[in-house]
Structure 1
Amino acid sequence: MDNESGLQRRLTGRQLTMIGLGGAIGTGLFLGSSLAISQAGPATILAYIICAGVALVIGWSLAEMVVVHPEAGAFGVIAHRYLGPWAGFVVRWTYWTIQVIAIGGEVIAAGIYVQFWWPSLPLWLPVTVFSVVVLAVNTAAVKLFGEVEYWFAMVKVVAIIVFILLGVVLITVGLPGAEATGVSNLTAHDGFLPNGMNGLFLAMVFVLFSYIGTEAVSMTAAESENPTRDIPRAARRMVTRLSLFYVLAIAVVLTVVPWTVTAQGGSVTESPFVTVFSAAGIPAAATIMNFVVLTAALSSANTNLYLTTRMIHSLASNGYAPAWTGRLSRAGVPRNALALSALGLALAAIVSRANESQAYLALFGVSVFGALVVWLLIMVTHHAFRRTRAAQGLPPSPVRLWGAPVTSVLVMLFLAAVLISTLFIPALRPAWWAGVPFFVILSVAYVVASRRAKTTV
């Protein structure tokens, strides 16, 4: 049941799908959606539909490659193989860095949700407690992690379904104590597209962040019981369900409550999902929903910590990370890599204590910059994967991205345009000041590390 990396193949197909959903459904939807709505208004629905197509192309591209190479490190190892050692080094360390930051963002968001009940509670306190919880879960054997994450993710999936159904009832016939809202909110307050096409495009970066995490399924390949069968199936189910949940949930949010209220001026002090229930006059439901989004943030942090740990383990196998980070416990868990990846949790505690009001946005900006670059490199890797295998006369992957290379090129252009758009969003502009120097430093680090690193995958 083990593979050549020493990791144990203990994750089932159902767990893979939920791990993918767990990594993606987090603050990007429940908190970040308010930032998108502040840019595009009701047209945010279109942004979620467009970005769903982008996520589908990326997920399908990853499935096509990982089925052929179900190895620890997933797209990072594949980039090493088809684009060269530099790409493998940069992709994996960048992904590790942005996920470490994302972990911090998720636990900070979880702390914000707790303040819904106890506003005077200092943010650093719940952040610290939640950090200990996700560390404990990730220290356990991978099969236990998979089961915990399955039920973690199941809570928010069920909650989103109930939310959508409750929203449809509220829109069409109303609820006790709340009249039917109808669909007038989609066109009120300056229309469906209040800030024009420019606002719609600027919302894309926040919406794309909701889909970041869809690559989580590919990262489980080395610990999947049957990667050839389960990875494509899990990727297809995960992206399809995720897209449906997102589009319908955001449509409900924007239909029930005026977008000017939901946007909260771009604030992230309360989830728009909680706002929906509060506006509907259902305080008990708002409390329940706040618990659900708290669970969602913890689930996402839990999955992201798993991903960063496996990425460091992969880097160690190539000599691009300290050898001690590649060692496994008796349960098959790279606990040394886990300890290193916990830096994001420590950072979250520090940032939340030093600057509570801007903590989430600061981490979000740096994380989304790196994530867009990683997605771009994944698509470049996919293009090289197909070209190289065709040139060598190797059989194609049993999973094929529809419409490639046209679809993959279109997605690459879209991602590049969205990355550039962050320059026009004041809150995200500092990410460039950190992002560009980061890649320069990373390239220098590669030159140093490659002198002693293994050059074979």
Structure 2
Amino acid sequence: MAENNGSYENGPDMTGGAGLRSELKQRHMTLIALGGVIGAGLFVGSGVVIDETGPAAIISFLLAGGLVVLVMRMLGEMAVARPAVGSFYAYARLALGNWGGFTIGWLYWYFWVNVVALEAVAGASQIHAWLPGIPLWVVSLCLMVLLTGVNMFSVRSFGEFEYWFSSIKVAAITVFLVVGLIFALGLWPGAHADVSNLTEHHGFAPHGVGAVLTAVIPAVGFFTGAEIAALAAAESKDPQRSVARATRSVVLRVLLFYVGSIFLVIAIVPWNDPSVAQGPYVATLQHIGISGAGTLMRVLILVAVLSSLNAGLYSASRIVFALTGNNDAPRGLTKLSKRGVPRRAILLATVLGYVSVIIAYVSPDAVFSFIVHSYGAVALFVYLLVALSQVRLRRQLEREDPGSLTLKMWCFPYLSWFTIAAMAAVIIAMVILPSTRSDFAASVLTLAVVLGAYGIRAYRGRRQAPADGGPAAAGQDRTDNGPLPTSPTAAVELSPLSASEPEPRRP
């Protein structure tokens, strides 16, 4: 299929034509936001958190969920005021300078490329249980090819797949909440109202307050994905309203799905039951007496894995597409198909995903183990940069375009700074706690590589800059960001450079 040169830098047509297509509807945006945080981590990983924390895991998930809700509100404020291709990449570049955009963009890309690889392996493991005769790497390859095809076809196909994946996940969690609540209230046949498991078996916090705070770290990772709605805003039919609604829907529903379901798991099944660590939802359904619970949850986990794969390919391709607009990524990745899909950017994410899948089977204990650990704190780094960007961009908007602030961060600037301090505290905790120190070290190495790449890019930009004091080099940071764009179309070109100071292309 022929390709064209629609690019972020030149302001792609947001309604079609040469640029990204506005094909995502409100129902897509809402379910993308909701389904983005309901992954295999909730269905499987939450059991490990419960095992290491006890009933107080409810508090851990509440703290982590509250933190992510605050970040989502901050991101929603910026996305509604200035919908842009690349979302937080564009905002970080505008608020913090070139280094901020470059860093957050490539860190986020690296995060999702790793998710693609991990979910491909996880999905293959689920299917392999049904089809043991097929090698794991073959199943992983098939899953990658399937979801690559979905993303390569059109943004609408991505939206439709994610809509149905998310609908299944939301429906399943809703049914679990209803059944679990009926059982906990004693309305289920043979059941009686009893929540004593919350305090029995060595108390509510058997491992102490430290374990509760430690569990916040993996819990934050389980919530990662809600921000995809803001990333997809530029391809929705009504960016401002879509993001506003999606952001609002996340707040109560995400906390209900996570905190509510974890509460029911712990209330129904003793937290130290070995089956909880292996699969808390399967253990709960089996305790209630629902036959076939294991098979049902295996199907649901597979759906969650496919959803994460789909979202990962989309997110990685769109963020790298945005990076091309300011020479932060090879400009060849700017090419779009006739359907407005950045196919080369998608292929870049899948190629590295394929490499990671191969590594998972060739060297699971060495290279792949490092990959798993190397993105442990990356999401926190990204969220921290998002929060810092919001604080600065909000002040600019209040000065230059207050009318655009139709969705505001609560109690600004106090809650914004509280969110920043809370994330900094979680990162510091990763340094202090032995169980997370290796994840932090590997993540810092990833951050150092990205910052080093930016330093090389900035140095090359200065070397290529005109000697007569012309336009700033591509890698030069700016703190005087100039006036904010005032229209949705201009928002696609968010940049710390003013209109009178164009950024030169690299040869």
- TM-score, scaled relative to structure 1: 0.91
In structure 1, the partner of 2:261 is 249
Superposition pairs of residues 139-154 of structure 1, within 5 angstroms = 139-154=152-167
Matches of 1:69 and 1:446 in 2, distance apart?
Answer: 25
Matches of 1:5 and 1:261 in 2, distance apart?
Answer: 57
* Equivalent position to 1:33, from 46, 65, 68: 46
Deviation string, structure 1 residues 203-252 (Cα, Å, up to 9, x no partner)? 00111112111111110121010112111111111332111111111112
Aligned-pair distance for 1:422?
2.4
Superposition pairs of residues 193-208 of structure 1, within 5 angstroms = 193-208=205-220
In structure 2, the partner of 1:76 is 89
1:435 to 1:276, Cα distance in 2 relative to 1, 3 A: same
Deviation string, structure 1 residues 262-288 (Cα, Å, up to 9, x no partner)? 6766xxxx4322232234443413211
Aligned-pair distance for 1:376?
0.4
8 Å contact kept, 2:373–2:442: no
Superposition pairs of residues 29-428 of structure 1, within 5 angstroms = 29-117=42-130, 123-173=136-186, 179-180=191-192, 182-261=194-273, 270-354=278-362, 363-392=371-400, 395=403, 397-424=405-432, 426=434, 428=436
Aligned-pair distance for 1:369?
0.8
1:173 to 1:235, Cα distance in 2 relative to 1, 3 A: same
Matches of 2:353 and 2:193 in 1, distance apart?
Answer: 41
Local SS of the residue matching 1:24: coil
8 Å contact kept, 2:108–2:382: yes
Aligned-pair distance for 1:396?
5.4
* Equivalent position to 2:440, from 432, 451, 455: 432
8 Å contact kept, 1:254–1:262: no
Matches of 1:345 and 1:296 in 2, distance apart?
Answer: 18
Q: Indicate yes or no: 2:30 matched with 1:17.
A: yes
1:110 to 1:412, Cα distance in 2 relative to 1, 3 A: same
Letter in 1 for 2:139: P
1:11 to 1:171, Cα distance in 2 relative to 1, 3 A: same
Aligned-pair distance for 1:137?
1.2
Letter in 2 for 1:65: M
8 Å contact kept, 2:150–2:158: yes
Local SS of the residue matching 2:55: helix
1:347 to 1:277, Cα distance in 2 relative to 1, 3 A: farther
8 Å contact kept, 2:54–2:204: yes
Aligned-pair distance for 1:184?
2.1
Aligned-pair distance for 1:165?
1.3
Letter in 1 for 2:122: A
Please list every run of 5 or more consecutive structure 1 residues that lacks an aligned counterpart in the other structure: none
1:70 to 1:348, Cα distance in 2 relative to 1, 3 A: same
Letter in 1 for 2:296: I
Matches of 2:412 and 2:194 in 1, distance apart?
Answer: 41
8 Å contact kept, 1:94–1:370: yes
Letter in 2 for 1:323: R
Matches of 1:279 and 1:47 in 2, distance apart?
Answer: 24
Local SS of the residue matching 2:409: coil
Aligned-pair distance for 1:386?
1.7
Equivalent pairs, count: 452
Aligned-pair distance for 1:167?
1.5
In structure 2, the partner of 1:2 is 15
8 Å contact kept, 2:113–2:312: yes
8 Å contact kept, 2:112–2:316: yes
Deviation string, structure 1 residues 253-312 (Cα, Å, up to 9, x no partner)? 1122221126766xxxx4322232234443413211220121012112211210110001
8 Å contact kept, 2:375–2:443: no
Matches of 2:153 and 2:111 in 1, distance apart?
Answer: 24
1:6 to 1:393, Cα distance in 2 relative to 1, 3 A: closer
Aligned-pair distance for 1:50?
2.0
Aligned-pair distance for 1:360?
9.0
Which piece of structure 1 moves more, 84-93 or 358-367?
358-367
1:155 to 1:383, Cα distance in 2 relative to 1, 3 A: same
Aligned-pair distance for 1:202?
0.4
Deviation string, structure 1 residues 320-341 (Cα, Å, up to 9, x no partner)? 1111111111111101000111
Normalized per residue, the structure richer in helix is 1
1:402 to 1:202, Cα distance in 2 relative to 1, 3 A: same
Letter in 2 for 1:372: L
Which piece of structure 1 moves more, 421-430 or 238-247?
421-430
Matches of 2:288 and 2:128 in 1, distance apart?
Answer: 21
1:393 to 1:230, Cα distance in 2 relative to 1, 3 A: closer
Letter in 1 for 2:392: A
Aligned-pair distance for 1:66?
1.1
1:79 to 1:434, Cα distance in 2 relative to 1, 3 A: same
Larger Rg: 2
Local SS of the residue matching 2:339: coil
1:160 to 1:355, Cα distance in 2 relative to 1, 3 A: farther
Letter in 1 for 2:232: T
Deviation string, structure 1 residues 41-96 (Cα, Å, up to 9, x no partner)? 11111122222221221111111111222110001111101110110000000000
Letter in 1 for 2:343: R
